[in-house]
Amino acid sequence: MADVGVVYTLTTPGPDITFNATTVPFNNHDQYYITEIRGLAAPSLRTPFDPVPLGDGGLIHDFWFGPRHILIEGTILVQSTSIENAIVVIRNDMEDDLRDALDSCLRADATLAFTPQGESARSITCRYEVGLEFTHTNNYHSLDFSFGLIAGDSST
């Protein structure tokens, strides 16, 4: 399971995005806050097999690790103002920055860096894989996001 309570930095050819910049609520800092990460615990598995010719069963071949499919979900937290119109403008700007960052690593490498609590720093070279989606929640007061990255290296 990924440590969602630490800072993650996505360094891209476009804008860099910092997630979980602070864990102190209502501190007047706007941020991208991660609520769920999947795919950091283990890479996908490549499990080749063939049917037994003219018989029951299968021929099992050596298995291999595949690429890591990293899925990130979170919410955009606007805490620098309580004025509704200003919140919308800030949220739209943050939405554009995240979209620009992800689009910039469609054909170029990005780096996702983080340090799990009590562990050493880690970084993963990755690219944009699963399209960015936004969902309004809390009667349009919150904007949730989800997207996916792919890392060719099976280790972190």
Q: For the chain, what percentages of helix, strand and coil (3-state, to nearest 5) are there?
A: 15, 40, 45
Q: Give the pTM.
A: 0.87
Query: pLDDT digit of tens for each residue in the chain (156 aa)?
Result: 578 889 999 999 999 999 998 766 667 788 999 999 999 988 889 999 999 999 999 999 999 999 999 999 999 988 888 888 888 899 999 999 999 999 999 999 999 999 999 999 999 999 999 999 999 887 666 799 999 999 998 775
Q: How far apart are CA 65 and CA 136, in angstroms?
A: 36
Give per-residue burial for 41-62: e unless 16+ CB within 10 Å, then b.
eebeeeeeeeeeeeeeeeeeee
Give per-residue burial for 125-134: e unless 16+ CB within 10 Å, then b.
ebbbbeebee
Q: Classify domain 8-48+65-151 at the CATH topology level.
A: Elongation Factor Tu (Ef-tu); domain 3 (2.40.30)
Structure tokens at 56: 């029951």
Contacts of 116 by beta carbon, 8 Å cutoff, 6+ apart = 2, 3, 6, 122
Strand partners, 130: 148
| Amino acid residing at 102 | L
